[in-house]
Structures are given as structure tokens and as C-alpha cells.
Amino acid sequence: MTPWIKRSLMAFTGVAIAVGGLAACGSRHHAQGPMSPEKIAEVRGKVVNRITSKLDLNAEQQQKLNLLADKVQAQRTAMIGQTTNPRAEMQALVSGDKFDRARALNLLDEKTRAVQVSSPDVINALADFYDSLNPTQQTEVRERMQKRGGWFSRS
């Protein structure tokens, strides 16, 4: 495999983990509705602080991590779109006697477009952050990605 393919795959994996992590954090509060901007900022701050601490980031690296978090949050916001209740949107697909295929395809198109538009920015921010790490920090990232709990485990 050529180096750029390896880097691209690593970046994609990192983006998937980052987006999945933030999306998971955002979906824990179904009973209370979507997370408030304050709660999102709190969770984002905790994630950034944990990564900063674990990797012992310098100011430049932390700035790049914050930019990555901004890009991931923008992508998450774009994915959610204009809806105030994503769960209700999904429930509407099965509210009748037939699955609403047209509506499901429309939702899929919206979400796919949001990812396609914002992904280059997320990938570039992730690459800039990862490339700013020293070899020891990069090794730590790779090792944490191999662990079952990843960044959010208690180790």
C-alpha cells in the first residue's frame, strides 16, 4: 500500500472515530431531547482536555485539535440539519402501513450531502492535527485506537 493511501485510511478511520464519538455523546440524552449548546460545549471541552492531557499537547497542537473539534461539530450540525426531532423523522418513516421509501431516500440524500460537503474540511483538520504530533504522540494515538475503549476508556 502506498503511503498516501495508508494516511488517507488512517485519516478516514480517525474521522469516523471522532464523529462517532461526538455523535454518541450527542445521542445519550434522548429523554431530554437534543443536547443543548452548553452541554455540547461541555462535552467537547472534556474530550479536548482528555486528549490534550493524554498526548501532552503543546499550544500549537491544542489549537489544531480545537480546529478539528470545530470542524467535527460543524459536520455533526450539518448532519442533524433543520430538524428539531431526528427521532420523530425516523419514526415518521414507519408511521403508516407502508415504509416511506421516498422520504427515507430523501433523508439519506440530505445526510450524504452534508457529509460530502464537510468531510474534506474534517479530513484536512484531522491530517493537520495528526501531522503536528511528534512520533511518540503518533504512536500513542495508534495504540489507543487499537484498544477496545479507545480514547474514552478509563486507562
Spatial distance between the Cα atoms of 90 and 93, rounded to a whole number of angstroms:
5
Give the lowest-confidence range in 19-23, 50-54, 82-86, 146-150.
Answer: 19-23
> Which residues, including other chains, have CB under 8 Å from residue 74's CB and lie 6 or more apart?
118, 121
104-128 pLDDT tens trace:
898 888 888 888 888 899 999 999 9
Q: What is the pLDDT of residue 114?
A: 85
Give the lowest-confidence range in 23-27, 56-60, 90-94, 139-143.
Answer: 23-27
Spatial distance between the Cα atoms of 153 and 40, rounded to a whole number of angstroms:
20
Spatial distance between the Cα atoms of 4 and 150, rounded to a whole number of angstroms:
24
Q: What is the pLDDT of residue 8?
A: 58
Q: What is the pLDDT of residue 33?
A: 59
Q: Average pLDDT of 60-88?
A: 87
Polymer length of the chain: 155
What's the whole-model pTM score?
Answer: 0.69
